[in-house]
Structure 1
Amino acid sequence: MKKLIIPILLFAFSSTFAQTTIKVIDTHNELPISGVVIKIEGEKNQVTNQNGIAQINLTQSKELVFSHLGYQGKVQRIMPNKENLVTLEIALNDLSSVTVTAFETDRPLLMQASAVSRVLENELHRFNETSIVNAFNTKAGIRVEERAPASYRISIRGSSLRSPFGVRNIKVYWNGIPFTSPDGTTPLNLLDLSNIQNTEIIKGPASSIYGAGNGGVINLESRKEIEENRISSDLNVGDFGLLRYRVGIDQKIGNGGISASYVHQKSDGYREHSAVDRKVFQLAAHLKPSEKQELSTQILYTDLFYEIPGALNSDQANENPRQARPGSIDQNSSITQKSLYGLLSHTYQFNEYLENQTSVFVNTTDFENPFILDYKKETAFSYGGRTKFTRNDKLGRFPIRIIAGGEYQLGKTLAQNFGNRNGQADTVRFSDDLITTQAFLFQQFEIELSPDLLLTVAASENFSKYDINRTIDASANDPADNVRRFDPIIVPRFALAYKINNTSAVHGSISSGFSPPSIDEVRTNEGSLNLDLEAERGVNYELGYRSSFGIFNIDVIGFYFKLDQTITTFANEQGVVLFRNAGSTNQRGIEAQVDYAVWRNPQTLIQELKINHAFTGHYFEFADFNSGGNDFSGNQLTGVAPNTLVNQFDFRSKFGLYLNFTHQYVDKLPLNDANTVYQDAYNLVGGRVGWRSTFIANWDLEAYLGVDNLLDESYSLGNDLNAFANRFFQPAPGRNFYGGVKVGYSF
């Protein structure tokens, strides 16, 4: 018996502590890769040594995750008690390997017949991580303005012409649900960068799938894949009293997981009366109940406060660009907004041919806006949903894809306007019960006429209505119930994509778009109801070329957009911004993006040297525009810079040191329809240097320093167009510095 027990114990001991060896090499040159993080569920992460080797304890086969900054991530099953070889591919990021989901269809970017730009998580982190502004502005055709901290305005191909403030004429989605309210406005400032992982931006009309909006569509996604249990925290500080901190936790559960994060950001602001204080909490769960189903749920709560310094005339801006507009401080011009979103998304794979994705959401908002001229309070509740069926099949010998679905939104708002007495709400001027409804059905048919030729035909049927029940009117008018119903509109899209070879393609499209006025354009701040304001209608013609060859990626697009019933702004004698339809505009443009890796080799001390150029040429003009007895036909479109150029340089080393450098040139642009006032051209230069590393197996750390506006340029990052009393300018900060640290622990 004793002779039998000893071998059994020796075998058990050796099995328990037997080492499993993993060697990681480069697929192409077969050289070992050091610094590869090996993620093992339920255990400490391991890192390969200089010989590309790591030894772990495994008692049974297991799928492990391999990640390295210079290589594509990989999941591979590892066998216990033997040497396992893992090969990794260099992360080239060429266009032929990039997949995007534009127009609700997962296809390689080369076969997408549309102007699509991506903003990845690492691009958001090239700058100060307090807003989306800098990262989005590196993309051709896209312009994000921040008139004051947390006060965004987005222009895609000149779409902000009718936006004196806020985000309009663009449809924004967050995790598959419409983040744009049914009244046509988008509270993009409710999101922190940590709520966004990847972004896809469709430029130009996308009404065939996404409903109203001539400017385009922004699809924002937060992190869904939870690969490990993890706790992380960030701290960011900077000039003007900037302080931002974040804490987050990820818990893996089966094939899914739960994550939660809290972010608090505040600053005093560059100008007087431009402080901001934002708190954002997000809770998310991603589950896979079965092989056929995926279920996601999100809760987002934001408590936002920011002050509005107001615009200055040229004399005031030159005298002291940091001052607030007279009256802004006394009247406490600011915005307080508390908003709660809840969403549920479900995906079901009926069979290999048919899939459904359905999302529903609810939102409540409490909004207060004391302004120099009045005091606005709103309490809003909205709900809605979106469903999409996708069928992949064949028509004869031709593969086809059919997409059909619908979207519905309804919002109810109690909107009240008061007088403003020293920053406090005074006597009510008027009060409205608002009901806004937006709905559309969409269909899309794709057919692969050959392996290299894809034809897309799509259309949507759109319905919208505003009910404005005026219950209180302090003027001589009697309360009344008003309805503005827009005629059902059908908007089509036709597109072709042809793949020249495996790394290059051409594409063209003709798409129609429309954009009804938002509720803020119909119901104005001085109490009038502009019920005769018509929806904008336009047709966009587009031709593009994409290619990857060697170290170069090229994406070039030319377009012509003809817009009718253009909505523009003007100010009355009290300075209140009003809206009107003003003829048509011709918008011709070219957008080009080129990037190339001067050097990329994860095996060497310098792992990557990468350069990127983005050029925007927007040559927009009023085709037929008469306003106030003046003929502005032929004038340059207000607020649009004809030429913009962005240059980026990125450096990354083997030991974790990195450098990001960005230069941006913005051409002079007209600030009024008469083209008599311009903002001068300017150059912005910024950079960020840092170090990131994984150490002690399960810990990772990053530290960084950065500078914005290194040349100390005087400019406005967002001007008031057609401004009353010549108050056009919203001065942006001069040279300023920031820094931060990030730490994470995986368990």
Structure 2
Amino acid sequence: MFRILSLLLLTVLPLTLFAQTRILVLDAQSGDPIPYVSLKGNNIAAYVVDEKGQVSLSLEQPTEMRFSHVAYESKTQTVPVSGTLTVSLQRAENSLSEVVVSSFDTERPLLEQAAGIARVSEADLFRFDETSMVHAFNTKPGIRVEQRAPASYRISIRGSSLRAPFGVRNVKVYWNGVPFTAADGTTPLNMLDLSNLENTEIIKGPAGSIYGAGNGGVINFSSSQDINENRISSDLIFGDFGMTRYRFGLSQKMEEGGIKVSYVKQKADGYRDHTAMDREVVQLTGHFRPSENQRLTTQLLYSDLFYELPGALTASQVEEDPSQARPGSAAQNASIDQQSMYGVVSHDYQFHPNFSNKTSIYINTVDFENPFNLDYKKETQFSYGGRTSFTYDAIWGSIPVRLIGGGEYQFSKTAAQNFGNRAGQADTIRFSDELQSTTAFLFQQVEAELSEQFLLTLGLSENFSSLDIARNIDAIRGMPSQARRTFDPVIVPRIALVAKLNATAAIHGSISSGFSPPTIDEVRTNEGTINLDLEAEKGINYELGYRSSFNQGGINVDVSAFYFKLDETITTFTNDQGVVLFRNAGATDQKGIEALVDYALIRNQLTFIQELKLTHTFTGHYFTFANFVQGENDYSGNDLTGVAPHTLVNQIDIRTRPGFYLNFTHQFVDDIPLNDANTVYQEAYHLLNARTGWRGSIGTTLDLEVFAGVENLSNASYSLGNDLNPFGGRYFQPAAPRNFYGGIKVGLKY
């Protein structure tokens, strides 16, 4: 008996000790084996599959492992202690047919979206110094972000910054699915750090059929992702002109969700005099799943921002010393001091496999203080709002359709006071107002798959908005007053068609209407005027585009041409006191072509250079005033102010097997007219930026990156944002010359 038991033990024990798991890694689309995929898990050795996509390994217990390959999306999966496991990997988002975007409230591949859409990923942001979004966004065709001082942004999508002397206007911005643009039409974009922007989708041109007001377009920021690991991370970046940025992050996975917290502090002295900035941002995110059909997300964002305003210079001042501030800016403490709290709750519910809803609500508070050369402004704002969207998939006859419907509501109340400015301190009050802004709209959309080749979209929204201004103190006129403007309801339609030529190519066309009422800052200006006669801009956009991918996503092409006819265009001018005012300028004709081509010269996991990728983008904006007469001046036919007719961007990205990388960016910007008469221009310039570093893992728990870079490599003289139609010839806001930066990132899994 003892011999039999011993024999059985000797037979079974080796099987137990040497039990192995055979893993086969396949391409999810083709089913072909993927060679040389790396496998990493906590506290175990790393593995690499062979040329047939196979590997065998011995484990003491089921282990969660990460599968990664340069040409595929990484995937985490639990590996058992024995048996055979087949793992399918999705190709990396190189092919346009595989890139899924959620624009127009529907998730579809970019190939099936009938609109000009640009994506800015984390990888795009990490090609530069990570202190602002400016350079990454400016690599996309049709988009220009300006920064006249650190943290002072102005966004132009297809020339929409014409009416934005400061701040972000005429563009609707969302953050994690809720409105980030306030009810009064302004957007505090400078309160966001790059760590709050993990993915961005930009719709170019009017999208009012589902997003309401804004002729320029829509920006959808996203920072919320599933928390699938416990992780501590920290970044440190430093550079010329006193720039430092420090970030700390913590992710904690929970049984049915997780929490994430991050803290960022960024400071800089600035290249020009009086351009220091200091910002702290805290974000707390929670993801929870109350049931299989529900998802609850909470977001809390707090930002404390201070930055100085150097002011614009004349041409002679730029020639004398481009680093100087406008005379008086420092003495008057021209600056922005802003604290903002933004709270969001989002709830997704899947009622049925074909019927779902997403509802989000937010509350926002802002304390704002702005001493300027001519006055001193203080504002306290409280706002709230929300958005809900229902999606239903059905079959009408033999045609699959998707029905989308919902609404959005926003309200803001602001206590605004304007004082005199005496040596940087608030002096005698000039006027004090209570401002209320309300905006709301309903939207409906039908998507019909007429056949395997044709997708038709019909959209419509009904929009309502109003402004209330109660002037409680008026030192100029001596008596209180009341002003109210209710804009006529606006119906905004859109029709779009996608025709798929094959699995990786499609053409698209659309006709979309848009409108943009004046913001509260345009109706109520700093010198005390209340301009209730300012009309909303209205326009129609016609667009035709082509997208295709070749060589399994190795080559991608995205081209679109458009014609945008805009009426009641709002433009800026400056009075003899230097105060920016606004007026309707008749009509503009905006014709353009935008193109992107990227291709991988090398994409091979086995070679030293694993990937060599080139990207080229071209923007041709041929915008003119169709009918613009001001007094004795007829500007009809002139080029649209502030818009470069041609922009070209070239990018080179290199990744190597040891982990070293190089990103190189060249940007050409054509001459930009700076006044309506087209008598003053910013000269064309070439801008060169580069970043290099090493990115890899040490062991199974530590991720590390070390990098360094240079901006404005060729030391070009240029501006990232100019003043348009200023008084006294103060057009220019010089940008920094050649400057360097470096940093380190550490991530620890626990």
Q: CA deviation at 1:82?
A: 3.9
1:57 is matched with 59
TM-score (norm 2): 0.96
1:549 is matched with 550
1:641 is matched with 644
Partners of 2:483 and 2:361 in 1: CA distance: 29
Partners of 1:8 and 1:255 in 2: CA distance: 44
1:47 is matched with 46
1:745 to 742, 745, 748: 748
2:449 is matched with 448
Instruction: Assess, with a 3 A threshold, how the Cα gap between structure 1 residues 223 and 8 changes in structure 2: closer, same or farther.
Output: farther
Instruction: Assess, with a 3 A threshold, how the Cα gap between structure 1 residues 448 and 30 changes in structure 2: closer, same or farther.
Output: closer
2:600 to 597, 602, 609: 597
The answer on whether the counterparts of 1:583 and 1:625 sit within 8 Å (CA) in structure 2 is yes
SS at match of 1:323: coil
1:189 is matched with 190
Partners of 2:4 and 2:432 in 1: CA distance: 91
Instruction: Assess, with a 3 A threshold, how the Cα gap between structure 1 residues 635 and 479 changes in structure 2: closer, same or farther.
Output: same
Partners of 2:136 and 2:570 in 1: CA distance: 28
Q: CA deviation at 1:590?
A: 0.2
Instruction: Assess, with a 3 A threshold, how the Cα gap between structure 1 residues 23 and 629 changes in structure 2: closer, same or farther.
Output: same
Alignment coverage as a number of residue pairs: 742
1:569 is matched with 572
Gaps of 5+ in 1: none
Task: Describe how 1:163-242 pairs up with structure 2 within 5 A.
Answer: 163-242=164-243
1:724 is matched with 727
The answer on whether the counterparts of 1:510 and 1:541 sit within 8 Å (CA) in structure 2 is yes
Partners of 1:640 and 1:705 in 2: CA distance: 32
The answer on whether the counterparts of 1:70 and 1:607 sit within 8 Å (CA) in structure 2 is no
Instruction: Assess, with a 3 A threshold, how the Cα gap between structure 1 residues 17 and 708 changes in structure 2: closer, same or farther.
Output: farther
SS at match of 2:244: strand
Q: CA deviation at 1:182?
A: 0.7
RMSD: 2.1
Q: CA deviation at 1:372?
A: 0.2
Partners of 1:431 and 1:606 in 2: CA distance: 63
Cα shift readout 1:683-709 (whole Å, capped 9, x = no counterpart): 001110110011111111000110010
- Identify the range of structure 1 (533-542 vs 548-557) with the bigger mean alpha-carbon deviation: 548-557
Task: Describe how 1:193-592 pairs up with structure 2 within 5 A.
Answer: 193-550=194-551, 551-592=554-595
The answer on whether the counterparts of 2:471 and 2:481 sit within 8 Å (CA) in structure 1 is yes
1:38 is matched with 40
The answer on whether the counterparts of 2:646 and 2:669 sit within 8 Å (CA) in structure 1 is yes
Instruction: Assess, with a 3 A threshold, how the Cα gap between structure 1 residues 464 and 59 changes in structure 2: closer, same or farther.
Output: same
- Identify the range of structure 1 (548-557 vs 502-511) with the bigger mean alpha-carbon deviation: 548-557
TM-score (norm 1): 0.96
Instruction: Assess, with a 3 A threshold, how the Cα gap between structure 1 residues 63 and 725 changes in structure 2: closer, same or farther.
Output: same
The answer to whether 1:685 aligns with 2:676 is no
Q: CA deviation at 1:93?
A: 1.3
Gaps of 5+ in 2: none
Q: CA deviation at 1:86?
A: 3.9
SS at match of 2:190: helix
SS at match of 1:450: coil
- Counterpart of 2:184, as a letter, is D
The answer on whether the counterparts of 1:37 and 1:68 sit within 8 Å (CA) in structure 2 is no
The answer to whether 1:96 aligns with 2:97 is yes
SS at match of 2:289: strand
The answer on whether the counterparts of 2:224 and 2:285 sit within 8 Å (CA) in structure 1 is no
Partners of 1:710 and 1:287 in 2: CA distance: 46
The answer on whether the counterparts of 2:70 and 2:610 sit within 8 Å (CA) in structure 1 is no
2:704 is matched with 701
Partners of 1:48 and 1:202 in 2: CA distance: 42
Q: CA deviation at 1:3?
A: 9.7
SS at match of 1:167: coil
Instruction: Assess, with a 3 A threshold, how the Cα gap between structure 1 residues 676 and 58 changes in structure 2: closer, same or farther.
Output: same
Instruction: Assess, with a 3 A threshold, how the Cα gap between structure 1 residues 47 and 578 changes in structure 2: closer, same or farther.
Output: same
SS at match of 1:542: strand
Q: CA deviation at 1:46?
A: 5.3
Q: CA deviation at 1:628?
A: 3.3
- Counterpart of 1:688, as a letter, is R
Partners of 2:378 and 2:45 in 1: CA distance: 55
Instruction: Assess, with a 3 A threshold, how the Cα gap between structure 1 residues 89 and 495 changes in structure 2: closer, same or farther.
Output: closer
Cα shift readout 1:11-49 (whole Å, capped 9, x = no counterpart): 999899766546465648746425x2435xxx5475324
Partners of 1:633 and 1:235 in 2: CA distance: 51
1:710 is matched with 713
Partners of 2:334 and 2:11 in 1: CA distance: 77
Cα shift readout 1:452-494 (whole Å, capped 9, x = no counterpart): 1011111101111111000000012421111111111001001
Instruction: Assess, with a 3 A threshold, how the Cα gap between structure 1 residues 296 and 499 changes in structure 2: closer, same or farther.
Output: same
Partners of 1:613 and 1:58 in 2: CA distance: 50
SS at match of 2:97: helix
- Counterpart of 2:454, as a letter, is L
The answer on whether the counterparts of 2:93 and 2:99 sit within 8 Å (CA) in structure 1 is no
The answer on whether the counterparts of 2:243 and 2:268 sit within 8 Å (CA) in structure 1 is yes
The answer on whether the counterparts of 1:23 and 1:32 sit within 8 Å (CA) in structure 2 is no
Partners of 1:58 and 1:11 in 2: CA distance: 19
The answer on whether the counterparts of 2:332 and 2:373 sit within 8 Å (CA) in structure 1 is yes
Instruction: Assess, with a 3 A threshold, how the Cα gap between structure 1 residues 334 and 532 changes in structure 2: closer, same or farther.
Output: same
SS at match of 2:135: helix
The answer on whether the counterparts of 1:586 and 1:621 sit within 8 Å (CA) in structure 2 is yes
The answer on whether the counterparts of 1:58 and 1:81 sit within 8 Å (CA) in structure 2 is no
Partners of 1:452 and 1:45 in 2: CA distance: 48
Partners of 1:442 and 1:31 in 2: CA distance: 45
Partners of 1:746 and 1:54 in 2: CA distance: 25
- Counterpart of 1:133, as a letter, is V
Partners of 2:695 and 2:541 in 1: CA distance: 44
SS at match of 1:612: strand
Partners of 2:16 and 2:285 in 1: CA distance: 38
The answer on whether the counterparts of 1:18 and 1:58 sit within 8 Å (CA) in structure 2 is no
Partners of 2:44 and 2:420 in 1: CA distance: 61
Q: CA deviation at 1:138?
A: 0.5
Identical pairs, percent: 61
Q: CA deviation at 1:277?
A: 0.3
Instruction: Assess, with a 3 A threshold, how the Cα gap between structure 1 residues 302 and 17 changes in structure 2: closer, same or farther.
Output: farther
Q: CA deviation at 1:255?
A: 4.2
1:142 is matched with 143
Partners of 1:108 and 1:502 in 2: CA distance: 11
- Counterpart of 1:48, as a letter, is Y
Partners of 1:689 and 1:675 in 2: CA distance: 41
Instruction: Assess, with a 3 A threshold, how the Cα gap between structure 1 residues 509 and 90 changes in structure 2: closer, same or farther.
Output: closer
